[in-house]
Chains A and B, each alone.
Chain A
Amino acid sequence: MSTVNSVAHGKHHHAHHYDSAEHQYLAAKFGTWVFLCTEILMFGGLFVGYIIYHQKFPQMFHEGSKFCDWRLGGTNTLVLIFSSLTMALSIYYAQLNQKKKSLASLYITLICGFIFLGIKYIEYTHKFHEGLFPGRFFAFDNPEEMARWKAMGINNMGMFFSFYFVMTGIHASHVIAGMGLITWLIIRTHRGDFDSDYYTPLECVGLFWHLVDLIWIYLFPLLYLIS
């Protein structure tokens, strides 16, 4: 928010309608938290749907979860938590004016994002290969399993994968958006925009990235660990 209509105020600029850079920092952070609140409610709708159908069809979710490999999901959890740490550290180093370390932390965060998506890609292709598509397109071809499910009274196995793909898909789109923002931060850090007086974008993107991590912390047990 600092290119157009800005007021020169020491080294850093702030937009004309704020009193000071600090004032603008607090407003930006406030706005970011309000935005996170909307994210909570958006993902929350999915979680509510998940819990309701889980109650309605516990066995179906139980069986479906068997197709989610906890090793891959667990690895992804660790990767995301680690990326959250590095994201937090990039702010920490910016606060200490250590540009190189801050930059390194951002690069590691970005790489973690790629690793996460890579593992997701492996999981997705595996599921497509087996015909584990959502809802109407569910095409799993294993007569034995199908017969077993039928005996258990499960006839809408696709719904588990509907939730799986919609939840992880929207989450992955947030990871991609976060990675785009982190790339932008890397460019700006290279340029030397941030120091202990001004790191608002780092802080705000950081909050977003932690939220993405937070949501995965819930997705992991709900999808991978209920079998």
Chain B
Amino acid sequence: MSSAPGKNYINEKSGLWSWLTTLDHKRIGILYMIAVMTFFAIGGTFAMLIRTELFKVGPTIMTAHQYNQVMTFHGAIMVFMVIIPGIPAFLGNFILPMQLGAKDVAFPRVNLLSWYCLIIGASIAFFSLFYNGVDTGWTFYTPYSITTQNGTILMVLGAFVIGFSSILTGLNFIVTTHKLRAPGMSFWRMPLFVWALYSTALLQVLATPVLAITLLLLSAERLLGVGIFDPKLGGDPVLFQHFFWFYSHPAVYIMILPAMGVVSELITTFSHKTIFGYKAIALSSVGIAAVSFFVWGHHMFVSGQSEIAGILFSFITMLVGVPTAIKVFNWTATLYKGSISFDSPMLFALGFLFLFTIGGVTGIILAVIGVDVHFHDTYFVVAHFHYVMVGGTLMAIMGGIYYWFPKMFGRMVNEFWARISFVLIFVGFNVTFFPQFILGAMGMPRRYFDYLPAYEPLNRISSIGAWTIGTGFLVGLAVIIHGLTKGEIAGDNPWGAKTLEWTTSSPPPHENFLVQPVVTAGPYEYR
């Protein structure tokens, strides 16, 4: 069933039903895009509410109880529904099979099922709003989560179902990478985005099941009172934290590894130069993925785990720093003697490098156990992970959207406004989160509805920055919508990139390639 001329995956069939039942990985990618952008808008609104509330000392626009729910929803939505599916399930779904030279992912139905898992899980989670909401924070720590209001169980079940979405996507990507590579596409010829997604998929498959069982036990805790995590019945709440972070630390890399993959693509394309140290970057993805399973205890340095465990976790955490450093240095080295053009995707990639470097070094500061005792659960941590998650992952998502937009929709975005959105997001981001490092050093704990007057000036700056980021993302949304309808028609390869997805037409036909590509060289042959 190869496509007729002029037909592509978008216009091959029409009607909402054809989209909701599609098995085409590209269409499913677009479904993910819509879902993730919607969730991002909701989570972002909650973020704006948080920063507005924290604009001044004392209650501003809500009560403490409402604040805690807003904070919980912001965290849970952004983690489970935006950043985790963001790059793999949206950009990855669209790009991975094309970069491998495949016609689709290995299991198209499972792929669609995984989208429905996300939607159903998210609906269940949002439904908790009608059952008094949730105020546990996205971490669901026991015993607080056992004793608080009933909405918690819906949120927990929602996260459980979304977990399946993540597992199924990961499973699909692993099998696709192993079984559906184009002739000649050896592992060492795969683009770095594929390497990153493959490492991510390993994490999704190996870590998420433990989250599933943890959340099931938490539900059982509330419904059946099993007492496994309830100190009143002999259970150990610290064990819950072990189980939770066994998933949630690798989850941090589920969020950042694909972003690193996107950045590898962007840096090499817009430097018009082969990537520096391909193997080192590829292997460091797998290395980060593997080591990430051994470090979860650094989220628990002051939780009451044993001192010996804490020190060991601190040591292994240092080891994760090494492959991360390799990546950052190799990206910078790629720029050397390059021919760098500053199209909007590249601006986001450079922004990523800037912010991720700061996020990375502050991560090392937090990994030093003696210093972390002071910084743990303060705004320093909040600033650090926003530098990595927003400054890293969201910058990469934005860069990735602008980069692959011509391929997805056959149109270019408005370059000028895309750059404006970058400037607003980049500047706003630093204004928002840099002061939070200082707040953390000053000792302001996180998840605070109210704070001492001494913290007010920096909180004000932070809130102003947040509104700037919000504006930046609105501009970004406008750029995307404008590009969809009125953008200039793009060629097959507007950026002069070398990976396989650029060899087919834009937008690609149903089966991606009219002729099965055969690979004879590495992915970044700029000679």
Residues of A within 8 A of B (CB): 1, 4-5, 15-18, 23, 26-28, 30-31, 34-35, 37-46, 49, 52-53, 56-57, 133-137, 155-156, 158-159, 162-163, 165-166, 170
Contacts and interface: CB of A to CB of B under 8 A. Distances in A.
B197 to A, nearest CB: 15
Q: Which of B102, B108, B227 has the most CB of A within 10 A?
A: B227
Q: Which of A17, A35, A137, A158 has the most CB of B within 10 A?
A: A17
Contact of B213 (A35, A42, A134): A42
Contacts of A44: 209-210
A41 B206 contact: yes
Interface in B200-242: 205-210, 212-214, 216-217, 220, 224-228, 230, 233-236, 239
23 contacts: A1-B108, A1-B109, A5-B1, A16-B104, A17-B102, A17-B180, A27-B107, A27-B175, A30-B178, A30-B179, A31-B171, A34-B174, A41-B207, A41-B209, A45-B217, A46-B213, A49-B217, A49-B243, A52-B239, A136-B230, A162-B228, A163-B228, A166-B217
Q: Which 8 pairs of residues, A with B, have the shortest CB-CB distance?
A: A136-B225, A156-B234, A162-B226, A135-B227, A17-B103, A45-B213, A42-B209, A41-B209
A163 B235 CA distance: 12
Nearest to B102: A17
B243 A45 contact: yes
Contacts of B110: 31
B175 A156 contact: no
Nearest to B206: A41
Interface residues of B, number: 44
B213 A136 contact: no
B282 to A, nearest CB: 21
A159 B234 contact: yes
Contacts of A5: 1, 23, 108
B309 to A, nearest CB: 13
Contacts of B214: 45
A165 B224 contact: yes
B210 A42 contact: yes
B250 to A, nearest CB: 11
B122 interface: no
Interface in B99-114: 102-110
Contacts of A155: 234
Given A5-B23, A135-B230, A23 B179 contact: yes
A34 B171 contact: yes
Contacts of A162: 220, 224, 226-228
Contacts of B156: none
Contact of A135 (B174, B224, B239): B224
A159 B239 CA distance: 15
Given A30-B179, A34-B174, A38-B209, A134 B104 contact: no
A18 B106 CA distance: 8
B192 interface: no
A40 B205 CA distance: 11
Given A16-B1, A38-B208, A156-B233, A27 B226 contact: no
A42 B109 CA distance: 23
Contacts of A43: 213
B501 interface: no
Contacts of A56: 236
Nearest to B110: A31
Given A1-B107, A31-B171, A46-B213, A156 B227 contact: yes
Main secondary structure of the interface of B (DSSP, over half): helix
A35 to B, nearest CB: 6
Nearest to B107: A31
A137 B103 CA distance: 54
A135 B171 contact: no
Given A17-B106, A42-B212, A158-B227, 10 more contacts: A4-B23, A28-B107, A30-B178, A31-B107, A42-B209, A45-B210, A45-B217, A56-B236, A158-B225, A158-B233
A45 B23 contact: no
A30 B243 CA distance: 27
B315 to A, nearest CB: 22
Contact of A27 (B106, B227, B235): B106
Given A1-B107, A49-B217, A134-B225, A27 B171 contact: no
Given A34-B205, A38-B167, A38-B208, A159 B107 contact: no
Given A43-B213, A49-B217, A16 B511 contact: yes
Interface in B69-127: 102-110
A41 B210 contact: yes
A108 to B, nearest CB: 30
Nearest to A46: B213
A136 B233 contact: yes
Q: Which of A26, A30, A162 has the most CB of B within 10 A?
A: A162
Contacts of A23: 179
Contacts of B216: 166, 170
Contacts of B235: 159
Nearest to B180: A17
Contacts of B206: 37-38, 41
Given A45-B210, A155-B234, A166 B226 contact: yes
A31 B105 CA distance: 12
A137 B226 CA distance: 8
Contacts of A17: 102-106, 108, 180, 511
A135 B213 contact: no
Contact of B234 (A35, A57, A165): A57
B104 A136 contact: no
Contact of B226 (A35, A38, A39, A134): A134
B226 A159 contact: yes
Interface in B153-176: 167, 171-172, 174-175
B20 to A, nearest CB: 14
A127 B386 CA distance: 50
Given A45-B214, A57-B234, A158-B233, A136 B511 contact: no
A182 to B, nearest CB: 20
A165 B213 CA distance: 14
Contacts of A15: 104, 108
B473 to A, nearest CB: 34
